[in-house]
Structure 1
Amino acid sequence: MGQNYTIREKFQLEIGLEIIGILSHVSYMTPMFKQYMAIKEEYPDAILLFRMGDFYEMFFEDAEEASRILDITLTSRNREKDQKVPMCGVPAHSADPYISKLVKAGKKVAICEQVEDPKKAKGLVKREVIRVLTPGLITEEEGLTPNANNYLLAINPGKKRTEPWGLSYMDLSTGEFRLTDLKDKEECLEEIFRLEPAELLLPEEIEAEPIFEPFLNDLHRIFPKLFTTRRPFQLFKKERAERTLVEHFKVKGLEGFGINTLNKAIGAAGALLLYAKETQKAGLSHIEPPRAYHLHEFLIIDEASKRNLELVSNNIDGGRTNTLLSILDQTLTPMGGRLLKRWILYPLIDPLKINRRLDAVEFLCTEHKVFDLIRSSLKRVHDLERLLSRAVIGTINPRELLALRESLSAIPEIKEVLSNLKDPKAHTLVAIEKGLNSLKSLRDLLSNAIREDAPQLIRDGRIIKKGFNQELDEIIELQENAKGFIAEIEARERERTQIPNLKIGFNKVFGYYLEVTKTHKDKVPQDYIRKQTLVNAERYITQELKELEEKILSAQERRITLEQKLFDEIKQSVVDQREKLQENARLLAKLDCLQSLSAVAQKHSYKRPIVSDGDEITLKKMRHPVIENVIGKDTFVPNDIHLDDDKEQFIIITGPNMAGKSTVLRSTALNVLMAQMGSFVPCEYAAIGIVDRIFTRVGATDYLSRGQSTFMVEMSETANILHNATPKSLVILDEIGRGTSTYDGLAIAWAVSEELLKIGGKGVKTLFATHYHELTRLENDFDRVKNLSVAVKEWGEEIIFLYTLKKGPANKSYGIHVAALAGIPGSVVERAQEFLEKIENSNSAEIKSKKKRPIQMSLPFECPERCLKLKKVGERIQTIDINNTTPLEALNFLAMLKGELKSE
């Protein structure tokens, strides 16, 4: 065509032409279908839910796709003709579950509503798309997890290696809006992995730039099903983005938000906000001003550590069972649950902030009455953040307003409990009390306005209480006392006309009427209007009767209309208090997290850690919070760990499999993390010097599904540690090099260990569990290296794991014993024992031989006999003059070398 189209334009063109091609053959092209086509052309990549009366209808490919996903009947329009249009539909009043199911299936959904009253419309009812829903734009309860955020995240990549990457994320369902600049794509990827967004927003040109290919490959490998939306690159430019932010938040500049220096992040934030505004067709006044955050303010947990330590999801089914989050989460509100997850993923590094949290947790652990009252009140608090967002977007229902009222009624109780606290440890709790706003006027409004038995749907009516609005009261009274009003008019007219048998009747043709027998016809007043003559009677109407009839017959419709109007006014009153409601939600979430950590500490007998800027980590009678919970505290065997920068910086732990090495490693990392998030820890005593990062190389999970082997994962994670660890970090290594040959693996493990001892000129605190017993010799070369091993008791031919650490290296690996414990058949175990004895005898002979002919080795451990043979071959090859050797001579030489190797 000779024109350059954007991705969106090409897609619109292809889909639009396809639909037009179908409809060009349809002889019954109605005005409704023309309207549908015009709207569909604007949203070609979305399933369009087209409102028709009480249903949302879908047509063509949308109907075929939706019917499969929703498992609903696919029918067709114009059944009697050959040209049929596939269609399906869902009830509008109960569409939310269907919409959520479509979105969870990875579909974009456009909601097209009738935006004018069909009764008042001249011709075709006007329709418009009022919302577009994607995984990152869901606000309906059915599509959300209560205690997890639903992040929409935007990336503004740096095109040069030295240029930072901008990142911004928003939770439309809560109003949270944050941004940060990151130093490179690796840091950006780590943040994406930590946040686990529901949807990612990228500049559409990113796929055309070769420099971004590694980033996209890593992203798709880790998140193969992540819903991704492309937007024009110019929307990510700082000038355009800054204009979007300034206009939305009605400010002159971004300096007041403290984000004006985050150039790349501003681009991401502006693109993100514009996307939300365009798709939601609403003001989005609940979106908080963008808040900057910086990774250097938190303990960094990379994707590998998050996964290996099973912080918020387990490695079996991806759920939260048997995770650190499942142990620590005793929150009572959805906001608290979401915040606690953030505390786990973003532990603090400022000892002052950490100790303030610890003070509050300790206070609640000792003041049981305060603790119990807080929990009792928090149980009545609903999801203030998401209730507010639905009020702003316009989807809140009457029952959710009742939930909001109940939540507000709990705040005075909480303030009263916290108002008289004098203990210095209650400083954080006192600050929460001062920040909470009871919002008495809003609470009273909701109490006076919304009926206790209000339905979920506004269309059902019966929402507003009697006494709230005089006009509504009259309508309600009219509905409830219609017969009484008719009887009253009937009695009054009998008395006025002196017609004793006058009566009021009703039919569908005339409505209400006055009936008078012909014997009293001469008594009929002049204001009566005759409507019908019968054999023995006449029927009349009066102006009063017609007005009453109109009121009675239209009462239900007028009641619903008025209740809708009043409901909208009440909803606006909620929106008007959005800033105070958001602050209440934030403070209640914080209070909920503190009481949760206190509840866990009391339940599991955790102890307060001593947190400082020091360089030592001391954990006495340390336990693993999750494993202890699974097997029971009485069964779990605790251990002691001490790390410092002078004498015990690098701990090598040896011992058999299944003896508890990995548990010790993970326990150490989890105890440090818990301490720095402000939690008590499963130890009898804990002193934690602040750690800036936790690195873990744990487990041997094969990532074939991600295109990576076990060894590749090991090396990638190890490389990340060596590039990013600092002397303030904590490194947890559970084997290195098992995915390659023994000697390659040992060489790599030795070199990595030496490098970790040199990082930053000081070394890094490291726990290294290994089966390479040769590594224990590092203790002879470095004063900071110490050997520990897991104690094992031998009993005859059996072994008993004691799960306790002892000084010194292990003297055996006990691999065959472990194999027997794991259920390997006895015949196989016996055969393995025979091979082991042969190998040990062979090694013994090699040692004696080496004593007769000492050899200089380049490695810090013994080289096997095979190395010597290869060394000799190498020496012979060095003597060959390649330039003066014919091909035939070269082949003969190789044959000779091969023979020598065989003869040896």
Structure 2
Amino acid sequence: MKEKAPYTPMMMQYLEIKKDYQDALVFYRLGDFYELFFEDAKTASKELELVLTGRDAGAKERVPMCGVPYHAVNSYLEKLVKKGYKVAIVEQLEDPALAKGIVKRDVVQVITPGTLISVGLEESSNNYIASVDVSGSFYIIAYCDLSTGELGVMNLEKDEDRLVSELDALDVSEIVISSTFDKNSFSSLTLRKSIIVSYEDNDEVTLDYNAILEDIKDIRQMRTIVRLINYLVNTQKRNLDYIKKASIVKTNQFLNMDSYTRMNLELTRTIRSEDRYGSLLWVLDKTKTAMGGRLIKNWIVKPLYDLEKINYRLDLIEAFNDSFIVRKEIENNLKEVYDLPRIIARIGYGNANGKDLIQLSNSLKAVPNIKQVLLNSEIDVLIDLANKVDTLDDIVNLIENSIVDNPPLSIKEGGLIKRGFNKDLDELYSLSEGGKEWISNLEIKERERTGIKTLRVGFNKVFGFYIEVSKGATSLIKDEYGYERKQTLTNSERYITPELKEKEALVLQAEEKIVKLEYEIFNSIREEIKKWTLKIQSLADILALIDVVRSLSQVSIDNQYVRPTFNNEGIIDIKEGRHPVIEKVMNRNVYVSNDVYLDNDNYVLLITGPNMGGKSTFMRQVGISVVLAQMGCFIPAKSASLCLVDGIYTRIGASDDLVSGQSTFMVEMIEANNALKNATEKSLIIFDELGRGTSTYDGMALAQAIIEYISVNVKAKTLFSTHYHELTKLEESLNGVINIHVEVFEENNQITFLYKVKKGSSNKSYGINVARLANLPEKLLVRANDILNELEQRKVNVTPIKVVEKERNDDSLLIKTLKEVDPLTLSPLEALNFLYDLHQKVKKM
């Protein structure tokens, strides 16, 4: 005897599906609702604030259940995904009317934080999912934005801090690894930002991946990319051939900044509020398109270390600066351009609707004007850019001829296709409209025939067409009229006639065929546009570039920025530099600009002065000026000559890391170590009051030792602020150390901050004066001043390090040669040739 199932067939089907998706919440489609059961229901009811109910499922106890309406599901999905959940969508795979037994259902898509295609996406931010692998002495990161089709891969030296920094720069929302990879390598990031980790072990490279791997030669990079693509295909349950071919990111072509630096310089969000307002991005982003907004953010986060590319960007900005008319006309036309990468991604993904196609058409209509404006500019660099613009007129014509101007959101209910586009569809419309016109005339005809003035012809989805007569007039209906009672209401009766029934069948059949044919036609149009995917993606990239350089040009003109020049002498020389954010949030007339000069002989600026005096702002503005220059932007200054900087490393402000259990001082030391470990002679280091997180003597000892280490071993351009005035004597004994200070005017124990940076050191920190500005009790301040006088009698001597300059020898030249090469970017043949040349040099020593 067959054992009885513990639940109903429907619930058994649910459990069979759920068995393969234990890490996801299963949204199970039942009619007009998505239902969740068992533990999924309990979780969803809590997270979405839904009422938890129960369902009879054949067992003694009711099964916990909650649900959401299918037409509002996106808002619920967005909330769950933002909280880090995966959601498996289960749909009906056959028409219930044709099903034998229980309707077939299965998962059609798994939505995860890294696989969002349309729900919950920020317009001006990418949504990257990354795959990480390790091979020998380096990590490999492959990353993709499913919503735009972007795909990239990079190699990194095997350093966990660098791995975390790159993943943080990408702002990934999900990380895919093999089951054997140690996820603790990036646990500091996943804990801090609540990033989910997923697993995929299939990294077999087959011919199916030839298109996206066209430019990839490294088999290890191939496997990392394939693992990521397999995960995407397995979760999305469809072909993702709109994804671009993978681009190789060479990390040595970008200025290196770790997570601390991006945070400390407040490049894309502020430290305290984590808002966009008050960040460098807030100042620079005047883009008009979504793809432009994403590109400018990427430029800020990843400045260049390639002078040719930097100057190309600067040339474009200068060209826009030189023509107000070009700049304004381009801006006006860009306002008409929608998010092309995400529209073509939805088309390729298969979930684009009629409105997406209209937005694509409207966007492309603006392109000829953009191209013509650039061609008419008579500026070579803009004309070259215009020649790369493809207007894609055929797509515009196709959409204009086929899709109605204001299509519905649904593509399965008709009302999408224009008359005249398809002959069969037009015939169905004529048939349907002819029937509707007959039915419309029937009301007039029947009123005349019966003499019932209140008679009307109506329609609803349950009963179809009907003739409605009020109760008081039913006595006027004669048998010869052929009326058949269909429905009785409180105040009226509804009837049908054989003739009306016949016409109803014709109309409804025609409308059913119209809906079906329109759906088929729409899909064929969508498939036709898919053939243009690469060209639309290329056009989107060019329009994004145009949008960004136009935005940077506008900001440069509005705020009186200048074009930086670059030198090979290791000089940073900025005249009347300003902080781009601070000057925007305060009156320009009261902003105090400052000069900064660093070179290979004077490379450590030791900055003293009071709190609130402007030390941190000065140091940040130097760092931001370098970022601006190397992202290819003008900078806020009177003039600027800069050397290329290979990395910026900072320690600014006081903060702890509660998630990792690290104190303020520990974070200080970690950030300092990261700088000292990675900085070179071509780097910029910014240390703000390093050592203040511990005791005075410990802090001063560490600060002096770090300055000495930078001076002797690293020789990076360094800005080092301190309240340890004893350290200013290091200028006398250490190479490269120069004292500067922020100026203050003091009178009658009152101070005025002048915010001007001058040469030489400050002889006091004015801490008590600042406390007076904060209105601390006067009695307390007097006592603090007495204590200060006593403490100042106890002198602390600074003993400088004894530096013995080593003579240059052949070894140092070899080391220099090795430092200048990035092994992660060499092909096997290039690496072999390099090794051979190195061997030949050693033999000659």
Normalising by the smaller structure, the TM-score range is 0.7 to 0.9
Does residue 667 (structure 1) correspond to residue 621 (structure 2)? The answer is: yes
The residue that corresponds to 2:123 in the other structure is: 146
Q: For the Cα contact (< 8 Å) 1:167–1:264, is it kept in 2?
A: no
The residue that corresponds to 1:496 in the other structure is: none
Does residue 175 (structure 1) correspond to residue 132 (structure 2)? The answer is: no
Q: For the Cα contact (< 8 Å) 1:302–1:695, is it kept in 2?
A: yes
2:610 corresponds to which of 635, 639, 656: 656
User: Could you tell me how far apart the structure 2 residues matched to 1:122 and 1:226 are?
Assistant: 43
2:591 corresponds to which of 636, 640, 647: 636
- Residue-by-residue CA offset, 1:665-694 (whole Å, 9 max, x unaligned): 000000111011111111011111111111
Superposition CA RMSD, Å:
3.0
Q: For the Cα contact (< 8 Å) 1:249–1:289, is it kept in 2?
A: no
The residue that corresponds to 2:163 in the other structure is: 188
1:455 corresponds to which of 398, 402, 408: 408
Q: For the Cα contact (< 8 Å) 1:309–1:670, is it kept in 2?
A: yes
User: Could you tell me how far apart the structure 1 residues matched to 2:464 and 2:778 are?
Assistant: 96
The residue that corresponds to 2:785 in the other structure is: 833
Alpha carbons of 1:67 and 1:217: their partners in 2 closer, same or farther (altered >3 Å)?
Answer: closer
Compute the displacement of 1:459 (Å). 3.7
User: Could you tell me how far apart the structure 1 residues matched to 2:529 and 2:132 are?
Assistant: 33
TM alignment of 1:210-359, pairs within 5 A: 213=184, 215-223=185-193, 225-232=194-201, 235-236=202-203, 240=204, 242-243=205-206, 246-250=207-211, 254=213, 256-257=214-215, 259-261=216-218, 263-359=219-315
Compute the displacement of 1:410 (Å). 0.9
User: Could you tell me how far apart the structure 2 residues matched to 1:561 and 1:825 are?
Assistant: 81
Compute the displacement of 1:77 (Å). 1.8
Compute the displacement of 1:79 (Å). 9.4
Compute the displacement of 1:725 (Å). 0.8
Alpha carbons of 1:62 and 1:506: their partners in 2 closer, same or farther (altered >3 Å)?
Answer: closer
Q: For the Cα contact (< 8 Å) 1:700–1:710, is it kept in 2?
A: yes
- Residue-by-residue CA offset, 1:467-513 (whole Å, 9 max, x unaligned): 2222222333333332444699999xxxxxxxxxxxxx999999999
Q: Secondary structure at the match of 2:642?
A: strand
Q: For the Cα contact (< 8 Å) 1:348–1:676, is it kept in 2?
A: yes
TM alignment of 1:482-501, pairs within 5 A: 482-485=435-438
Instruction: Between 409-418 and 822-831, report the one with greater CA deviation.
Output: 822-831
Compute the displacement of 1:277 (Å). 0.7
Q: For the Cα contact (< 8 Å) 1:156–1:202, is it kept in 2?
A: yes
Q: For the Cα contact (< 8 Å) 1:166–1:267, is it kept in 2?
A: no
The residue that corresponds to 2:563 in the other structure is: 608
How many residue pairs end up in the alignment?
Answer: 767
Alpha carbons of 1:749 and 1:483: their partners in 2 closer, same or farther (altered >3 Å)?
Answer: closer
2:89 corresponds to which of 89, 96, 111: 111
Instruction: Between 86-95 and 669-678, report the one with greater CA deviation.
Output: 86-95
1:558 corresponds to which of 513, 531, 534: 513
The residue that corresponds to 2:179 in the other structure is: 204
Q: Secondary structure at the match of 1:454?
A: coil
Does residue 377 (structure 1) correspond to residue 333 (structure 2)? The answer is: yes
The residue that corresponds to 1:781 in the other structure is: 733
- Residue-by-residue CA offset, 1:768-787 (whole Å, 9 max, x unaligned): 11111122112112352211
Q: For the Cα contact (< 8 Å) 2:132–2:140, is it kept in 1?
A: yes
Q: For the Cα contact (< 8 Å) 1:76–1:84, is it kept in 2?
A: yes
User: Could you tell me how far apart the structure 1 residues matched to 2:305 and 2:669 are?
Assistant: 28
User: Could you say which structure has the larger radius of gyration?
Assistant: 1
Alpha carbons of 1:222 and 1:157: their partners in 2 closer, same or farther (altered >3 Å)?
Answer: farther
Does residue 42 (structure 1) correspond to residue 3 (structure 2)? The answer is: no
The residue that corresponds to 1:625 in the other structure is: 580
User: Could you tell me how far apart the structure 2 residues matched to 1:478 and 1:827 are?
Assistant: 96
1:719 corresponds to which of 665, 668, 673: 673
Alpha carbons of 1:539 and 1:735: their partners in 2 closer, same or farther (altered >3 Å)?
Answer: closer
User: Could you tell me how far apart the structure 2 residues matched to 1:352 and 1:340 are?
Assistant: 19
Q: Secondary structure at the match of 2:81?
A: helix
The residue that corresponds to 2:656 in the other structure is: 702
The residue that corresponds to 1:587 in the other structure is: 542
User: Could you tell me how far apart the structure 1 residues matched to 2:423 and 2:722 are?
Assistant: 80
Please, which runs of 5 or more residues in structure 1 have no aligned partner? Answer: 1-23, 492-504, 514-533, 848-856, 862-904
Compute the displacement of 1:793 (Å). 0.9
Alpha carbons of 1:507 and 1:802: their partners in 2 closer, same or farther (altered >3 Å)?
Answer: closer
The residue that corresponds to 2:447 in the other structure is: none
User: Could you tell me how far apart the structure 1 residues matched to 2:256 and 2:612 are?
Assistant: 30
- Residue-by-residue CA offset, 1:147-193 (whole Å, 9 max, x unaligned): 000010111024x5xx2111111000000000011111332122112
Q: For the Cα contact (< 8 Å) 1:656–1:813, is it kept in 2?
A: yes
Compute the displacement of 1:67 (Å). 1.9
Q: For the Cα contact (< 8 Å) 2:743–2:754, is it kept in 1?
A: yes
* 2:781 alignment partner AA: V
Does residue 817 (structure 1) correspond to residue 755 (structure 2)? The answer is: no
User: Could you tell me how far apart the structure 2 residues matched to 1:729 and 1:764 are?
Assistant: 5
Q: For the Cα contact (< 8 Å) 1:725–1:759, is it kept in 2?
A: no
TM alignment of 1:675-694, pairs within 5 A: 675-694=629-648
Q: For the Cα contact (< 8 Å) 2:607–2:740, is it kept in 1?
A: yes
User: Could you tell me how far apart the structure 2 residues matched to 1:343 and 1:510 are?
Assistant: 61
Q: For the Cα contact (< 8 Å) 1:616–1:688, is it kept in 2?
A: yes
Does residue 439 (structure 1) correspond to residue 392 (structure 2)? The answer is: yes
Q: For the Cα contact (< 8 Å) 1:607–1:683, is it kept in 2?
A: yes
Compute the displacement of 1:547 (Å). 7.2
Greater fraction helix: 1
Alpha carbons of 1:716 and 1:489: their partners in 2 closer, same or farther (altered >3 Å)?
Answer: closer
- Residue-by-residue CA offset, 1:779-832 (whole Å, 9 max, x unaligned): 112352211111111112211111001111112221111121133222221110
User: Could you tell me how far apart the structure 2 residues matched to 1:535 and 1:833 are?
Assistant: 113
TM alignment of 1:55-74, pairs within 5 A: 55-74=33-52
Compute the displacement of 1:80 (Å). 11
- Residue-by-residue CA offset, 1:517-545 (whole Å, 9 max, x unaligned): xxxxxxxxxxxxxxxxx965779999999
Instruction: Between 670-679 and 793-802, report the one with greater CA deviation.
Output: 793-802
Q: For the Cα contact (< 8 Å) 2:562–2:637, is it kept in 1?
A: yes
* 1:231 alignment partner AA: E
2:434 corresponds to which of 478, 481, 499: 481
Q: For the Cα contact (< 8 Å) 2:8–2:57, is it kept in 1?
A: no
User: Could you tell me how far apart the structure 2 residues matched to 1:806 and 1:612 are?
Assistant: 25
Alpha carbons of 1:776 and 1:461: their partners in 2 closer, same or farther (altered >3 Å)?
Answer: same
- Residue-by-residue CA offset, 1:70-100 (whole Å, 9 max, x unaligned): 2222222239995212222222233211111
Q: Secondary structure at the match of 2:313?
A: helix
Query: When the two structures are superposed, what TM-score results if normalisation uses the length of structure 2?
Result: 0.86
Instruction: Between 450-459 and 649-658, report the one with greater CA deviation.
Output: 450-459
Q: Secondary structure at the match of 1:318?
A: coil
Compute the displacement of 1:554 (Å). 2.1
Alpha carbons of 1:739 and 1:430: their partners in 2 closer, same or farther (altered >3 Å)?
Answer: same
- Give me the identity figure in percent: 41
User: Could you tell me how far apart the structure 2 residues matched to 1:221 and 1:31 are?
Assistant: 41
Q: For the Cα contact (< 8 Å) 1:164–1:264, is it kept in 2?
A: no
Query: When the two structures are superposed, what TM-score results if normalisation uses the length of structure 1?
Result: 0.80
Please, which runs of 5 or more residues in structure 2 have no aligned partner? Answer: 445-456, 467-477, 485-495, 803-845
Q: Secondary structure at the match of 1:597?
A: helix
User: Could you tell me how far apart the structure 2 residues matched to 1:147 and 1:652 are?
Assistant: 39
Alpha carbons of 1:144 and 1:537: their partners in 2 closer, same or farther (altered >3 Å)?
Answer: closer
- Residue-by-residue CA offset, 1:621-655 (whole Å, 9 max, x unaligned): 11111111111221211100011112x21111111
Compute the displacement of 1:571 (Å). 1.4
Does residue 736 (structure 1) correspond to residue 690 (structure 2)? The answer is: yes
Q: For the Cα contact (< 8 Å) 2:144–2:151, is it kept in 1?
A: yes
The residue that corresponds to 2:133 in the other structure is: 156
Compute the displacement of 1:276 (Å). 0.3
Q: Secondary structure at the match of 1:205?
A: coil
Alpha carbons of 1:469 and 1:819: their partners in 2 closer, same or farther (altered >3 Å)?
Answer: same
Instruction: Between 120-129 and 589-598, report the one with greater CA deviation.
Output: 120-129
The residue that corresponds to 1:896 in the other structure is: none
